[in-house]
Amino acid sequence: MTAMNVVHMRVKPGMEEEFVRLHQDFDLKTMPGGRNFWLVKSGERSFVVVGEWDSRDALVAARPAMIASLDRLRPILEDLGGGRGVTEPWSGDVALHLNP
Q: What is the DSSP letter of 32?
A: T
pLDDT for residue 44 is more than 90: yes
Domain residue ranges of the chain, discontinuous segments joined by +: 3-93
Return the CATH number of 3-93, one of 3.40.50.12780, 3.40.30.10, 3.30.70.100, 3.30.1360.120. 3.30.70.100
- The answer, as to whether pTM is greater than 0.85, is yes
pLDDT for residue 27 is more than 90: no
pLDDT for residue 13 is more than 90: yes
**Among residues of the chain, what percentage have pLDDT more than 90?**
82
Task: Answer for the pair 96, 5: CB distance below 8 angstroms, yes or no.
Answer: no
Question: How is the chain split among helix, strand and coil, in percent rounded to 5?
Answer: 35, 35, 35
**Model confidence over 47-73: pLDDT tens digits?**
999 999 999 999 999 999 889 889 999
**Among residues of the chain, what percentage have pLDDT more than 70?**
100
Per-residue pLDDT at 86: 96
